[in-house]
């Protein structure tokens, strides 16, 4: 028991026992990789000595490149496995260390960009879930950044502000854990009158918002006060999402607005920053920096939570868990942020598209936490405001004192002076000739602003912590079509390459600043380079198999066992980490399948798009991932059926690779079984083709067997079949030269 002078513990950690196995296996596997590269060198030397054709030399060099890149990516991945740890928090002790009235204020940032891809009701549910935290409501300020500049979103939040007066006390009085209204009503069918009344209010709000969405504008009939009329007058005829003045609307003011029980409501502020086609807006990073400035003017809380619009709170005690680290100043003097994992609801049993991102959001952060800390992943992250103003030992002063993290706001948030300053710092030209985006705030220079910002902050000397409680702190939505999954991944690849080819490359700049952890960031930044070995293995072994050319050791050759060990060892370790991470074999299988699919699609096309940008060739640009769920698509997803449905160049190459593997596998079997070909020499190539065929079964089904709207478009099937057969013919001609 703690004495009067002793503070009870708030958190603890322990290193995972698997790190010993990881290190031992890494040593063995490194030896095997060294032997593989040695074998490649011997093979290439032998080919050159025997004066074989240019084709043989090219094949040998190409396979060397593929295996070298696979080895490089494996090597960087080991940094996650060297020192993984797990943490526990004891929130029950928090109020024994700090009184509730002394809890720090909390600013919450929620970003949205398109009301038709990110429905306002989804954003509203996210906001209500965090407004209902088990935390002093007068210490919470929720800021909604609407980069789409939509009056529909503002209307939805006006409705939410009224509903919140009933919802927040309902949650408190009934000690509800699921404080996202939509999630709560979906999982509770109680006949309790109070619950039914609050549900009717929610449904009424929902009908009004959906009605406005259908009309595409807020008609006068939906405005109930002159204040609301005044707010919507800013949407003039010349108002567009690319060109408009700033819109700041204080929907709830904590010191004035009360819930139905007379308790203070949190501050709720809607913000759409000024935009001009003549000024760069820097996408989400720009929106977050505007939120940093506007929130500094209004509330300037020392703690900031950033949330994706579809990532709602699933645990009202989450801020308490955060404070278990933040109030522990002695152990964490340079602590900059606490990252929670992104967990997703609505995943089907098999996680068809690997949307859980088990490694990115749950496994790898454990390894990074044992070094300097996990990366920022864009949502579910609590920051100290001070972190955005230089390193722990090198404070960068903002251009006006009101934006400094230690500035104390003294005026009401609706005062004319405060609103005037807020609109000023939300201006599209405010950042000109300033440190915003470089030394202050979220960093500019990459489409993956979360990865890039977290990386730069850790390089500056800050530390971070990964907090993964048993009950997920947040739950989010997932894309349920393959095109959306690949498009999202392609966008990430473009942003990652922007970091690779900048002066902040993790292998040059990062290694000096953070040592081993730089390899973790390097592994992520080189994701697009997976496209090279995966694409090579998707075509070259198959085309040589069709022409009865062996490019791997025979089964009777001792070198064969090296290849077998490398393949089996990597896959078994990968699978074990999934299972130990409380996942399933089926989900692991789909995760590795999606890795293969992304190779010749999003990884490759992301690389092409980045190179096109460098050359000044027009590219599709940034697209918001749709959170709207079509009923038929939802049914197919629940059944684990792949959703194609649209024409995409990425699908063409994917279908070509799958078709060639099928042709090669069937052709190889025919050669061995009917013509008594050399199985000993061609076994590895036949195995690779068969492995791709096994992973491609959903693709063949979509190309040849399905008739629903989610099948592979006929145009893609025809084009890919033509290209595949053409490549087989051309490949046969080339290898026989």
Which sequence positions are flagged as catalytic? Answer: 147, 450
Say how many C-beta atoms besides its own lie within 10 A of residue 628's C-beta: 12
Give the annotated binding-site residues for UDP-alpha-D-glucose.
Answer: 117-118, 147
Closest by alpha carbon to 629, among 358, 414, 346? Answer: 346
Residues forming a β-bridge with 87: 13
The answer to whether 14 touches 85, Cβ cutoff 8 Å, is yes
- DSSP label at 117? T
DSSP string, 687-713: HHHHHHHHHTHHHHIIIII--STTSPP
The answer to whether 493 touches 347, Cβ cutoff 8 Å, is no
Give the annotated binding-site residues for Mn(2+).
Answer: 284, 308
391/397 Cα distance (integer angstroms): 12
In 3-state terms, what secondary structure has residue 369? helix
81/79 Cα distance (integer angstroms): 5
φ, ψ dihedrals at 306, nearest 5°: -105, 135
The answer to whether 124 touches 156, Cβ cutoff 8 Å, is yes
251/581 Cα distance (integer angstroms): 42
Say how many C-beta atoms besides its own lie within 10 A of residue 54's C-beta: 9
The pair of structure tokens assigned to 146 is 């609407």
Closest by alpha carbon to 166, among 194, 135, 140? Answer: 194
- DSSP label at 86? E
With a CB cutoff of 8 Å and minimum separation 6, the contacts of 288 are 109, 111, 145, 306, 441, 442, 449
- Write a three-state SS string for 412-442: CCCCHHHHHHHHHHCCCCCCCCCCECCCECC
Cβ burial, residue 323 (10 Å; 0-12/13-18/19+): buried
366/520 Cα distance (integer angstroms): 12
Give the annotated binding-site residues.
Answer: 117-118, 147, 284, 308
In 3-state terms, what secondary structure has residue 66? helix
């Amino acid at each position: 028991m703690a004495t009067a002078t002793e503070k009870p513990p708030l958190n603890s950690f322990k290193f995972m026992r698997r790190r010993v196995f990881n290190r031992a296996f890494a040593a063995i596997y490194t030896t095997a990789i060294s032997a593989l590269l040695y074998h490649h060198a011997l093979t290439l030397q032998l080919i050159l000595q025997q004066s074989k054709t240019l084709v043989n030399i090219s094949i040998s060099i190409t396979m060397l490149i593929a295996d070298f890149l696979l080895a490089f990516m494996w090597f960087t991945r080991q940094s996650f496995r060297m020192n993984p740890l797990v943490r526990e928090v004891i929130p029950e002790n928090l109020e024994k260390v700090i009184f509730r009235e002394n809890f720090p204020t909390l600013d919450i940032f929620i970003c949205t960009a398109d009301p038709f891809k990110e429905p306002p009701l989804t954003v509203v549910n996210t906001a209500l879930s965090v407004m209902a935290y088990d935390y002093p409501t007068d210490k919470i300020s929720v800021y909604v950044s609407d980069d789409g500049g939509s009056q529909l979103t503002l209307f939805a939040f006006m409705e939410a502000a009224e509903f919140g007066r009933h919802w927040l006390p309902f949650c408190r009085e009934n000690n509800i854990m699921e404080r996202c209204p939509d999630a709560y009503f979906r999982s509770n069918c109680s006949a309790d009158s109070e619950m039914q009344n609050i549900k009717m209010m929610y449904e009424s709000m929902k009908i009004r918002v959906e009605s406005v969405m259908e009309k595409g504008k807020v008609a006068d009939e939906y405005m109930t006060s002159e204040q609301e009329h005044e707010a919507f007058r800013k949407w003039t005829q010349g108002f567009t999402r690319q060109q408009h003045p700033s819109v700041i609307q204080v929907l709830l003011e904590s010191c004035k607005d009360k819930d139905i029980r007379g308790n203070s409501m949190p501050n709720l502020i809607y913000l759409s920053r000024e935009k001009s086609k003549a000024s760069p807006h820097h996408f989400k990073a720009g929106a977050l920096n505007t939120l940093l400035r506007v929130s500094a003017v209004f509330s300037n809380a020392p703690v900031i939570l950033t949330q994706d619009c579809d990532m709602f709170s699933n645990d009202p005690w989450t801020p308490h868990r955060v404070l278990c680290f933040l109030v522990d100043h002695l152990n964490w003097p340079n602590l900059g942020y606490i990252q929670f994992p992104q967990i997703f609801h609505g995943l089907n049993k098999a996680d068809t598209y690997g949307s859980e991102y088990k490694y990115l959001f749950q496994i790898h952060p454990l390894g990074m936490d044992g070094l300097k800390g996990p990366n920022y992943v864009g949502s579910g992250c609590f920051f100290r405001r001070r972190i955005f103003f230089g390193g722990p030992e090198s404070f960068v002063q903002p251009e006006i004192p009101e934006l400094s993290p230690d500035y104390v706001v003294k005026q009401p948030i609706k005062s004319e002076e405060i609103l005037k300053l807020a609109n000023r710092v939300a201006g599209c030209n405010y950042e000109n000739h300033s440190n915003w985006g470089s030394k202050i705030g979220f960093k500019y220079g990459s489409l993956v602003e979360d990865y890039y910002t977290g990386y730069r902050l850790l390089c500056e000397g800050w530390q971070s912590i990964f907090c993964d409680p048993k009950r997920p702190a947040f739950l989010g939505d997932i894309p349920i079509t393959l095109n959306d999954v690949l498009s999202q991944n392609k966008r990430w690849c473009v942003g990652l390459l922007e970091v690779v080819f900048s002066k902040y490359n993790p292998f040059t700049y990062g290694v000096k600043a953070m040592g081993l952890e730089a390899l973790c960031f390097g592994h992520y930044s080189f994701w697009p380079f997976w496209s090279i070995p995966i694409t090579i293995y998707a075509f070259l072994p198959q085309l040589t198999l069709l022409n009865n050319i062996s490019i791997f050791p025979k089964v009777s050759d001792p070198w064969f066992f090296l290849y077998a060990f490398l393949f089996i060892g990597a896959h078994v370790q990968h699978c074990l980490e999934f299972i130990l991470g409380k996942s399933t074999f089926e989900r692991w299988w789909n995760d590795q399948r999606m890795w293969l699919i992304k190779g010749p699609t999003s990884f490759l096309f992301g690389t092409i798009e980045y190179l096109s940008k460098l050359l000044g060739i027009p590219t599709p640009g940034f697209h918001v991932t749709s959170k709207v769920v079509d009923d038929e698509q939802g049914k197919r997803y629940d059944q684990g059926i792949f959703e194609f449905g649209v024409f995409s160049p990425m699908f063409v190459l994917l279908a070509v690779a799958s078709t060639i593997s099928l042709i090669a596998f069937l052709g190889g079997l025919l050669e061995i079984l009917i013509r008594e070909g050399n199985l000993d020499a061609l076994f590895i190539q036949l195995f690779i083709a068969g492995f791709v065929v096994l992973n491609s079964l959903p693709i063949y089904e979509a190309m040849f067997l399905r008739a629903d709207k989610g099948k592979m478009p006929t145009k893609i099937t025809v084009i890919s079949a033509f290209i595949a057969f053409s490549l087989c013919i051309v490949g046969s001609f080339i290898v026989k030269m």
